[in-house]
Amino acid sequence: MKTYTHEELRGVLRLHALWLQGESNGIRANLRDANLTCANLTCANLTGADLTGANLTGADLTGANLTGADLTDANLTDANLRDANLRDANLTCADLTDANLTGANLTCADLTDANLTGADLTGAGVWIPKIEHIDARILREISTEGCRIEMATWHTCDTAHCRAGWAIQLAGAAGKAMEGLIGTGPAAALIYHMSRPGHPIPDWYASNEDALADIKRHAALDPIPEVAK
């Protein structure tokens, strides 16, 4: 894992800026597996950068532009992402434990299997509803006659949705409002984060069989109490 000095990082950002401008001497930022612990990346333009597997523990990314950046498997524990633009960013399997996401733009970000434990989403522009026993409730819905899970698309019809779609559906008007603001995947990810803290965000792209098996497993761990049925 390469550790970058402040000057080296400035050089990477300078060449990346030229790349974004379409200059022939520009180079896309390749910070894959980089050690960026506590790095100061305030207001950095990392649009489309490759940060796969990077260690950004405690990094300051306040106001950074991470639009379309690849942060797959990145460690963002305790990172400051206040007001950061994460639109279309790939955060699959990213560790965002205790990260500050206040005011961050998560529109269309992929949060599949991300760890949001303790993340601060205050003021992120959306009110996140909590669904008690979320997987058990989804299982109950898709077990109802005429209803089903269909992972091929977010929403097929009123009685057929993917796992994320069912989370939105169960959240009612608040869920639909979030979906309209930031997209189905990110909205459902935040609902799941609020509803079963400490667990990774589900895989929205799993097969019907794998999604159903995982829903049943979590439903058994957190069943609906008899009095609530």
- Per residue in 19-34, pLDDT tens? 999 999 999 999 999 9
- Domain boundaries along the sequence of the chain: 1-125, 134-228
Asked whether the beta carbons of 216 and 202 are under 8 A apart, the reply is no
Please tell me whether residue 172 adopts helix, strand or coil conformation. Answer: helix
The backbone region for 42, taken as left when phi is positive above 0, alpha when psi lies in -120 to 50, beta otherwise, is: beta
Q: Is residue 123 predicted with pLDDT exceeding 70?
A: no
Q: In what order do the strands lie in the sheet with 148-149?
A: 148-149, 160-161, 155-157
- Per residue in 169-219, pLDDT tens? 999 998 998 898 888 999 999 999 999 988 889 999 999 999 999 999 999
- Helix pair angle (163-170, 184-195), 10° resolution: 70
Q: For residue 214, give every residue at least 6 positions away whose Cβ sits within 8 Å of its Cβ, in sequence order, or none.
A: 202, 203, 206
Tell me how far the alpha carbon of residue 7 is from its chain's centroid.
31
CATH of domain 1-125: 2.160.20.80
Question: Which residues are registered as beta bridge partners of 50?
Answer: 30, 70
Question: What whole-number percentage of the chain has pLDDT above 70?
Answer: 97
Please tell me whether residue 130 adopts helix, strand or coil conformation. Answer: coil
Q: What pLDDT is stored for residue 124 in this prediction?
A: 60
**Residue 41: φ, ψ to 5°:** -120, 30
